[in-house]
Structures are given as structure tokens and as C-alpha cells.
Amino acid sequence: MADIFHSSQPIYQQLAERMKKQIIRGELAPGDKLPSVRETGIEVSVNPNTVQRTYRELESMHIVESRRGQGTFVTENEEVLESIREEMKTEVMSTFFKGMHEMGYTNEEIKHGLIEFLNEKGEQDA
């Protein structure tokens, strides 16, 4: 379980990324209550203080909101969720293109490569 995080990068950020993905995938739906700080801590074997920091981070990005005495909830603001989804897509794609450009692929080659790749794989995970 300890292996799901890189120990040389801040855990609170990695956990925030992980939870953002859960939200984008819909595993945590708009309006859903997040597990308590301790529950999440136990699940991923992380210090509750660190989980608390992750929740604050997500809150400052308006992805979740805490309601006094009730807990923390995924935002129901579709605009925010869509912009996070776009942002994460752009992030992953720019890493991919950077890697491809470093190997000398042209945009045209990448495009064809992608189409071929997707046709072979279908909707499954590569």
C-alpha cells in the first residue's frame, strides 16, 4: 500500500491528484460526501494530518466544499468539474507530446500513431 505514493514527492499533492481522478471518473460523484480524514488515512496508509491538508488543497481549488459539522462534499458545480477535467487532460497530453517530440516525432506522425494505437486497443486500458 505504501507503494501508491512516491516518497520523494509531497504526499498531500499526490493524494489530491488521486482524488481528483476519482472525481473526474465519477467514482466520487458531484454532491458525494468524502470519507472522513481518518477513513481516507486508513485506506491509503497516510497520516491524517496529511489527508487534512489534501482536503484543504482540494477545497481551495473549489473541487470540494466543507460544510460545518457535516463533512466534506464533492462540488456540484459542473463548470468547476469540467475545467478540472480539461486541465488534467491537457497536463497528461503535454507530457505525452513532450516525450514524443523529444524522440523526434512530427505532429503528423503522432496523429497517425495515435489513431492506429486507438484502433488496436479499442476502449480498453493500454
- Does 7 bind other proteins (CB under 8 A)? Our answer is yes
Burial label, 119 (beta-carbon count in 10 A; 0-12, 13-18, 19+): exposed
Q: Please list, in sequence order, all residues whose beta carbon lies within 8 angstroms of the beta carbon of residue 4, skipping any fewer than 6 positions away.
A: 18, 44
How far is 125 from 47, CA to CA, in rounded Å? 31
- Does 84 bind other proteins (CB under 8 A)? Our answer is no
Size of the site for other proteins (CB under 8 A): 21
Q: Measured from the CB atom, is 43 or 82 closer to other proteins?
A: 43
Question: Which one of 18-26, 36-44, 66-74, 83-91 is the stretch in contact with other proteins (CB under 8 A)?
Answer: 36-44
Question: Which one of 27-35, 42-50, 88-96, 111-119 is the stretch in contact with other proteins (CB under 8 A)?
Answer: 42-50
- Does 42 bind other proteins (CB under 8 A)? Our answer is yes
- Does 2 bind other proteins (CB under 8 A)? Our answer is yes
Q: What is the phi-psi region of residue 124: left when phi exceeds 0, alpha when psi lies from -120 to 50, beta otherwise? A: beta
State in angstroms the smallest separation of the CB of 53 from other proteins: 7
Sign of CA dihedral 48, 12, 52, 28: negative
- Does 53 bind other proteins (CB under 8 A)? Our answer is yes
| Residue bearing cell 503522432 | 110
Give the interface with other proteins as residue ranges (CB under 8 A).
1-2, 5-12, 38, 41-42, 44-50, 53
